[in-house]
Amino acid sequence: MALMNQIETLSAEILPLVAEKCEVPDEVALDTAFDSLDLDSLALVELSVQLTKKFGVEVTDDELFTAGSVARVAELLATKGAHS
């Protein structure tokens, strides 16, 4: 149960970063596919740097691409031991 709470907390913190750093609409949902947002590789690199700084675990642009959504990125960060 604690993992689910951590994923929810991380998701809530990641969502505004995605909206701000990737210049996408504010109505992006946790399960919105990154593909549908037309994020280019530079946007994913910038986002990976921000997430690495904010959460204290390394996350690469390839991992973000593979995860594909905020919810899946939160799961990834949680499994890597991210702290908010």
What's residue 60's pLDDT?
Answer: 96
Residue 76, pLDDT > 90, answer yes
What's residue 58's pLDDT?
Answer: 95
Residue 1, pLDDT > 60, answer no
Is residue 37 a contact partner of residue 22, using CB atoms and an 8 Å limit?
Answer: yes
Token pair recorded at residue 70: 């905020």
Instruction: Tell me the pLDDT tens digit for each residue of 16-72.
Output: 888 887 777 767 889 989 888 888 888 899 999 999 999 999 999 999 999 999 999
In the chain the domains, ranked by start, together with CATH numbers, are 2-79 (1.10.1200.10)
**Distance, CA of 19 to chain centre:** 10
Q: Would residue 82 be called left, alpha or beta, if left means φ above 0 and alpha means ψ between -120 and 50 degrees?
A: beta
Question: Residue 76 and residue 37: Cα distance in Å, rounded?
Answer: 20
